[in-house]
Chain A
């Protein structure tokens, strides 16, 4: 027995010494024996390589999900829902008795609701994902021809995909700002009896209310619990999915749609008619700032209703995984980059159409600042959190 024991020790030591000497050699790169070293390191690392970042059991993933659901997602949906009710109310009161003043009030409610939407768009999960919530509320540019023909014919089905670009905030933007040369002519479209414009406006607003209610109710009556309970680290678990949604939103909904596409980053030349709230003209910057704030709040785990109330978040998760040993924390870099984005957006003209037409280079610089955040979130952060990207860029060769 003693011999057996000794033998084991000897062999283990022998094995370790082999592996040890190999791995120390493997620091010399590009030497002729490299593949040999490779192989040994493959052998020894194959048992451990899948766990480059072990998810620490101590981090309370469930508590983070609970905070996300109860303090961020559901409250922002409820607030957005409330803003839509007010928009609907203002719509009714405008179309009952259209005049300049009511139009202004309606536009005000539209803007409030549009800003509120910026805090909701990123949560493309559950019912929202199922019903294409974000595509139905905020696809832009609006398909103006389609809106016009829908209004003319009076026959349309807003639930059909072909009408996704003729509803939501962009369609309302067009209906409130773009269908006439000035306010008088806009109001006049709603003044005619049985105005088809009035009908379309009301249908579009009502549809937004209906869809939002579906998503909100689903969260409140069941999905919340499902969401909170899926705490593991798999492609379908809540943290992985929502983190992906968050980064996808940052990259597409925020970076590309609001800044990159109008600045011509993907097209070669600027496309000013692609800005958000194009017809309202002066709201594009304000909406982009709200979106950046939403990103900031989610990353940092700030409660929707009270930004002082801070819970577990991607930031604290990252800090936990990184530990105290790091000289500079990735979460600090990300925070600094988000802050720089907000500052850069703030330095632009309030009307991105003017910005793109008059000084696109500044728009491109803002894009650069936001883009730097994509690399931090999508590559550095996901690597540390051991989460895979669940969407592929459409940039194949």
Chain B
């Protein structure tokens, strides 16, 4: 008996635990306790098999039908694209822009008119400051009531004077206010942080949202809260759908099944800039990393593994935040070199992009769970950029210092 036991121990120790179920079972049939033993081992294996395969792409189905949709996010990103264009069109009225942003109407592509709008999702997460959304409204007002009329009356912009400014070599034209603000850039880059990043990180991928109400209990018990568009049968749990909505705010204009940009996809928003970061040299693979984290997190929801879900959410958050971080100091530096070269149109354009990305810094969530900068820190930096006659008054030295501050806040460096 003793020998057999020792033999058994050696067999068991020798064999790898994940590969030996059958052998173990065979060894036990001679003894009175195996049934119990067998059960333990078999159970382990069975549950493992259930959720074994890492999904290759963001495709999830139930009873043969997809459980993924994010039409509302796609609509909003398309709306943001039109807003970016119209915020630079001197024919745009305040009413038009306000309707587009806050009421979801007035779009050239009338299929975008409807219940969805960007305004009510801008800086709308539980951690977002309520002081941010009014900034977007104020930019609409100032573009429509100050910049557009000045451009229409043929005013050339200069320090303190709104109008059109053309680079001396004719390479660029910007419609700006007296501080050099090119509003469509501020607005559009601002939305990348305040709409997309905030909604993804601080809303849909947050524990507070994913577990809100009965979402967790329902996900545990297979209680469905959503139906695919066009279907009546509920087949999607709330938690699954919340996660998909987060995914949609990144990938909504591109291919659900392929990371990166689609042929007719995003050319202005978060995914577009993410892919720029992906190819800048020091962040190879970040696009795929985020896509995979979205995919694994979604699989974890199906597997009811919420620790894993939250781990993947943290990866998405930390990696997506980098897009805001890199672009904030990149455009500040670009503004600095443009000013040094006397290229003011390029400087205003770049600094307007920087202004929008810096605004977004407060919506980020680094690996430590904190934003790169608080609302107060962001406002201090934006005030510094806008001081006096704004961009016209900035010096390369000031901007270089600001870029250094941004690098320190993000822990990122130029490629």
Contacts and interface: CB of A to CB of B under 8 A. Distances in A.
Interface in A27-46: 29-30, 32, 34-36, 38-43, 45-46
Interface stretch (A14-22, A183-191, A310-318): A14-22
Contacts of A383: 207, 211
Contacts of B293: 30
A192 interface: no
A364 B129 CA distance: 8
B289 A30 contact: yes
Nearest to B46: A43
A57 to B, nearest CB: 24
Contact of A378 (B17, B37, B52, B208): B208
B305 A30 contact: no
A49 B293 CA distance: 22
B131 A15 contact: no
B341 interface: no
A29 B304 CA distance: 17
B296 A260 contact: no
B362 to A, nearest CB: 11
A368 B130 contact: yes
A196 interface: no
Contacts of B124: 395
Nearest to A374: B126
Interface stretch (B3-11, B58-66, B149-157, B271-279): B3-11
B130 A371 contact: yes
A375 B126 contact: yes
Nearest to A263: B130
B54 A367 contact: no
A42 B130 contact: no
A141 B31 CA distance: 78
**Main SS of the interface on chain A?**
helix
A389 interface: yes
B101 to A, nearest CB: 9
Contact of B1 (A3, A269, A364, A379): A3
A361 interface: yes
**Main SS of the interface on chain B?**
helix
Given A30-B289, A35-B54, A7 B37 contact: yes
Interface string A252-294: 0000000010011110110000000000000000000000000
B54 A375 contact: no
A38 B303 contact: yes
Given A3-B5, A11-B40, A367 B50 contact: no
Contacts of A46: 47
B348 to A, nearest CB: 26
Contacts of B213: 388-393
Contact of B53 (A35, A41, A43): A35
Interface in B1-52: 1, 4-5, 8-9, 12, 17-18, 28, 31-33, 37, 40-41, 43-44, 47-52
The residue among B8, B48, B49 with the most chain A CB atoms within 10 A of its own CB is B48
B308 interface: yes
B167 interface: no
B137 interface: yes
A391 B214 CA distance: 9
A397 interface: yes
A40 B212 CA distance: 26
B375 A368 contact: yes
B47 A36 contact: no
B311 A29 contact: yes
Interface string A354-385: 00000011001101100110110011000100
Nearest to B43: A43
Contacts of A388: 213-214, 216-217
Contacts of A265: 130, 133
A32 to B, nearest CB: 7
Interface in B339-394: 375
B40 A7 contact: no
A268 B130 contact: no
A34 B303 CA distance: 13
A18 B216 CA distance: 29
B3 to A, nearest CB: 11
A375 B305 contact: no
B323 interface: no
Nearest to B314: A29
Contact of A42 (B131, B216, B305): B305
B44 A18 contact: yes
Nearest to A31: B54
A45 B305 CA distance: 9
Contacts of B28: 7
B222 interface: no
Given A4-B33, A397-B72, A10 B8 contact: yes
Contacts of A199: none
A329 interface: no
Contacts of A393: 212-213
B160 interface: no
B30 to A, nearest CB: 10
Interface in B282-316: 289, 292-293, 296, 299-300, 303-308, 311-312, 315
Nearest to A5: B33
A36 B130 contact: no
B130 A367 contact: yes
Contact of A7 (B31, B41, B245): B31
A6 interface: yes
Given A375-B208, A389-B213, A39 B48 contact: yes
B256 interface: no
A388 B305 CA distance: 18
A7 B33 contact: yes
Interface in A162-220: none
Contact of A35 (B207, B216, B217, B296): B296
B299 A392 contact: no
A13 to B, nearest CB: 9
Nearest to A397: B72
Given A14-B12, A368-B131, A8 B33 contact: yes
Given A42-B47, A42-B303, A265-B130, 16 more contacts: A7-B8, A7-B33, A14-B17, A38-B305, A38-B308, A41-B308, A43-B44, A265-B133, A364-B131, A365-B129, A365-B130, A368-B130, A375-B208, A379-B208, A388-B216, A391-B213
17 contacts: A2-B1, A7-B8, A18-B18, A30-B296, A34-B54, A35-B52, A42-B303, A42-B304, A266-B120, A268-B102, A268-B119, A268-B120, A268-B133, A368-B375, A379-B206, A388-B213, A393-B213
Interface of A: 2-4, 6-8, 10-11, 14-15, 17-18, 21, 29-30, 32, 34-36, 38-43, 45-46, 49, 260, 263-266, 268-269, 360-361, 364-365, 367-368, 371-372, 374-375, 378-379, 383, 388-393, 395, 397
Question: Which 4 residue pairs of A and B lie closest in terms of their CB atoms, listed nearest first?
Answer: A392-B213, A18-B17, A379-B208, A364-B130
